[in-house]
Amino acid sequence: MHLRSRMDTRSRIDDIPLDPDLALLFAELERRMGASQRPTLRAWLECAEAWRIAQALEQSRGNRSAAARSLGIGRRTLYTKMEKLGIQPRWGAAPVPRPSNGAAGPGTTNGAG
């Protein structure tokens, strides 16, 4: 009985159609991840998850709430996954330009008066 269930599982796995483009993509990812050892399933899943999160953030122009909605997860879940996977937002406050020498900054006088 046990042998029969194994054979049934094997025939079902062999019946799954594999996209040739995906096979090429996975082969390339495996090559890039390191030739010394094959990546674990966890490493594959983390790579795919990081890629999909980065794609969603790009499509939403950095809006994490919109990215979470497009991924079908909660915003806090997205934040947690970003932290776990080391995904940093690319936005931030722009540096304030300093006035050049001799120019008066906002709220100051230049000595004329």
User: The domain that contains 55 carries what CATH number?
Assistant: 1.10.10.60
Does residue 111 lie within any of the structural domains? no
Decide: 71 and 55 in contact? Cβ < 8 Å. no
Q: pTM of the full predicted structure?
A: 0.57
Please give the residue that has the higher pLDDT: either 91 or 47: 47
| Mean pLDDT of the chain, nearest integer | 77
Does residue 61 lie within any of the structural domains? yes
- Dump pLDDT digits (tens) for 81-101: 999 999 987 765 455 566 666
Does residue 46 lie within any of the structural domains? yes
Q: In Å, how far are 13, 30, 31, 80 from 24, measured between CA atoms?
A: 19, 10, 11, 31
Find which of 3-7, 28-32, 44-48 is predicted with most confidence, using mean pLDDT: 44-48
Q: Which of 95, 94, 92 is nearest to 62 (CA)?
A: 92
User: Within 10 Å of residue 53's Cβ, how many Cβ atoms?
Assistant: 20
Q: What residues make up the domain containing 47?
A: 37-87
Least confident of 6-20, 40-54, 72-86: 6-20
